[in-house]
Amino acid sequence: MNVICRTALPSDTDAIMRIEEAAFLPGLREEKELYEKRIRAFPEGFLLAEDAETKEIGGYICSELWREDRPVCSETLALGHDPEEAHDYNGTQFYITSFGTLPSWRGRKVGSLLLDTLEKKIAENYPKATLGVLIVSEKWTAARRLYERRGFKEKGRIIDFFTPTGLPAEDAILMMKP
């Protein structure tokens, strides 16, 4: 499979939602309207992994740029926060808001491709954004390893942040990369 990264378009939201359904448990999934807002707010920071031949979309990563005076806390990191209010093209922090792949695409380095491509685009086009920020569930060990290999370090925890439907709450691990 030859996978390319490209910028998400509003017409891609159905494919993004298929990934969201496959990648996240109920209670952790975000709404289609939110992804549409993310594309509008910062299209350059919303990338898709696409099979160059079949055009199947198998992964996405989306982000926002935040000003340095925006606190990094449970309220600002909340699932479903408004990207059109949070994003600022002059921001010094890039926050990875969501990142998912189809289960059938895992183990093929698609996550690495998406993360590396996003970080490169941010560095080239938004050089003031030098601090990477993300949160990851304590249970998502493969994702944590990917972030750690890319230089993200644990900076704290938000207790019971993720609340999957019908399951115990999970801590969010706050990770940052200078």
Q: What is the CATH number of the domain that holds 161?
A: 3.40.630.30
Residue 1 has what pLDDT?
81
The residue range of the domain holding 65 is 3-177
Instruction: Please list, residue by residue across 126-150, b when 16 or more beta carbons sit within 10 angstroms of its beta carbon and e when fewer do.
Output: beebebbbbbbbeebeebbebbeee
List, for residues 32-85, the tens digit of each pLDDT value. Answer: 999 999 999 999 999 999 999 999 999 999 999 999 999 999 999 999 999 999
pTM equals: 0.94
Could you say which DSSP state residue 30 is in? -
The number of helix segments (H) and strand segments (E) in the chain equals: 6, 7
Find how far residue 116's CA is from the centre of its chain. 12
Could you say which DSSP state residue 89 is in? T
- Please tell me the total count of domains within the chain: 1
Distance CA 41, CA 36 (A): 9
